[in-house]
Amino acid sequence: MGNCGTFRHRGHTCLARVARCARYAAHPAAFRAAPVVTSATHEGRGYPLRLLVLFAFTLTLALIWLVLPLERGTVWTLTVACTLAACAMLAWRTRQLANTRTQNTQALAALGTVTSAIPDGMHSGMPLVLLTGDGLSELFDRDDTTRLAWVGDGAIWLRVDEPNALPRLAAAVKQWRNGRAPDGVVLSIAPALHANADALAQKLRLVRQAMADASRMLGTRLPGYVAVYQRLAGRGPIALSARDHVTDGPQWYGAASPTPLAGASAFEAAIRAAKDAVQKTSRIGDAVARTTSAAGIASIVDWTQRLVMGVLLDRQQPAAPWPLHGAGWIDCGPASWPDSPWEREIELRTKVAPAPVAASPSPWPLPQPLIETMPVQRKTSSRLAALGHALALLACAAAVAFWSSAKNNEALLTKIGADLERFHAIPAANDAAKRDALVPLVAARDQLDRYARTGVPLRLSFGMYHGAELIVPLNSAIASYVAPAPPPAVVTLDSMSLFDSGKAQLKEGSTRAMVGALEMIKAHPGKRILVAGHTDNVGDPPSNLKLSVARAAAVRDWLVDALGISATQFAIQGYGDTRPIADNGTQEGRARNRRVEITLVPDAVQ
């Protein structure tokens, strides 16, 4: 037929040509029904969605915990959200598979029965067609009136009694065929079985919606075909006798294409071919018979275009248009009566009152010619498809990991660079701030050293790590810090060189003894100074305490005058004889205990 063309075939003779295909020639028994072996031979080999969900969940958790630059709170929030989403998807998929197995057990069992003799793997290579619509009992009445599936010469036919079951049955078939969707859907229509056009239109809308749902569920558009079964021969006052025919069985007329058919023009050639066939198969001189038969063919085609295609292809309907790849008509079908809509249609067009026609004997021929130009599906295993999707997920995760590693390394370099700039910007005189800025540098250097010894963490790796380049500038900055010389803890002044015995006034010339104290205070401006007086144990303790306080105050006053600083920077304290540094039992010890101590107060104490 080429890419698109008409066909005219005897009811079953065209099947022999398909049976002679080279890929099936080695298994001639594969196309006959066989005894029951099992109905689950090929079940459970569909797309492993649950396994892919677990794989995606594992990748996501790895990225969240090991790579992404996130706060701990955000990490836990995303972990909980991903866990709930994965559990919900797994539960939904498990329930869907259970429902599919439960709802389609009978049909899948029939498939397993009729294909049990086909070599393993060939069942997914043979065309599998879903057949729904009118006359299913007569079409599948081979040796069992309840048969749901049939292996013909070159195709597997699966019966769909209810259009609503089409989506889930198509999904079950895809799983049964190891991820390959059905090759097409054939809608059989027997005009004589429909009482009026409205009821037919409503049924066609249901079929159209079911087809759209199935295509959406499978992720691919299924080719659609229309097969019309209607008795056409023997109409009018002059009927064609058996000897007038050059064929011995009903013939198919129509058009089919690997690509969707567009508009009524696709069937014009089919109508012409049908009329030519009628002319050839009628006896010369039977003009009325030829005219009536040709009018019948033209009428059924026109009826199909108006009442069937008009509903299936109308773009104003909510469901997607029927993906029509072929339509065929055959002089075979149920009995008809004069008052049926179809008979009235013939009478209006031919102006001849039709006679009743008996039903064709079962089984009716399957519409094999329609599917001979069926589009070839890509035979991609669902396992291979899942592997491809897993690799795609892995590639996406790798891209996210590279991006996250780049961001993490950028943040690390930015932080260490900012810490180095801050450290170098602080003057050496501000030792406290300098030491504070030194702490993060030491921590960063230790961290980079640890990475060099034990390995770079995953969040910084993937070839993006440049932290080793910062170890040298960090060590240089740390080594550049020089701590200032510590101030003398205490300057001790001999009281006897400053004061007369029992007095608190400084003696003349005693100021030379306090030069060291002056130098110490000048070297550390801003420091608070504690001046403490001490005595030996000669005399009563209250007098000694009062004397020590007075001597400390005298030294403080002299330092204030000498340095020109505020008295509030000083603190005085008298201890009397309570803190000796030597033995008061000896003259030398008592001399050492009579002293004034000048101490710089540490910053922490301030």
pLDDT on residue 354: 65
DSSP element (H, E) containing 254? strand 251-256
Q: How far is the C-alpha of 32 from the C-alpha of 540, rounded, in Å? A: 132
Q: Do β-strands 128-133 and 149-151 pair in parallel, antiparallel, or remain unpaired?
A: unpaired
| pLDDT at residue 290 in the model | 59
Give me the pLDDT at residue 77, please: 94
For residue range 85-144, list pLDDT tens digits in order.
Answer: 999 999 998 887 777 666 667 666 767 766 666 665 566 678 899 999 999 988 887 655
Q: How many CB atoms within 10 Å of residue 268?
A: 13
pLDDT value for 198: 86
User: Is-contact 8 274, C-beta < 8 A?
Assistant: yes
Could you give phi then psi for residue 472, rounded to 5 degrees? Answer: -65, -50
Query: Tell me, what's the pLDDT at 15?
Result: 36
Question: Could you count the other beta carbons within 10 Å of the beta carbon of residue 126?
Answer: 20
CA-based nearest residue to 331, from 375, 293, 370, 280? 293
pLDDT of residue 238: 32
β-partners of residue 5 are 256
Residue 175 burial (CB count, 10 A): 21
Q: How far apart are CA 500 and CA 109, in angstroms?
A: 124
Q: Angle at CA 184, nearest 5°, toward 12 and 276? A: 45
Q: Which domains does the chain have, with CATH numbers?
A: 126-378 (no CATH), 402-480 (no CATH), 490-600 (3.30.1330.60)
The pLDDT of residue 41:
37
Per the CB < 8 A criterion, the answer to whether 316 and 212 are in contact is no
- Which of 183, 590, 549, 138 minimizes the C-alpha distance to 366? 138
16: left (phi over 0), alpha (psi -120 to 50) or beta: alpha
DSSP state letters, 359-427 = PPPSSPPP-GGGGGGPPPPP---HHHHHHHHHHHHHHHHHHHHHHHHHHHHHHHHHHHHHHHHHHHHS-
pTM of the model as a whole: 0.57
Cis peptide before 488 (omega within 30 of 0): no
What is the residue whose two structure tokens read 């630059």? 69
What pLDDT is attached to residue 432? 85
Identify the DSSP state of 44: T
β-bridge partners, 133 = 188
- Which residue positions in the chain have pLDDT lower than 70? 1-46, 100-104, 106-108, 110, 113-124, 142-146, 153, 233-249, 262-296, 338-342, 345-346, 349-355, 378-381, 485-489, 602-606
Per-residue confidence (pLDDT) for residue 420, from 0 to 100: 93
pLDDT score recorded for residue 236: 38
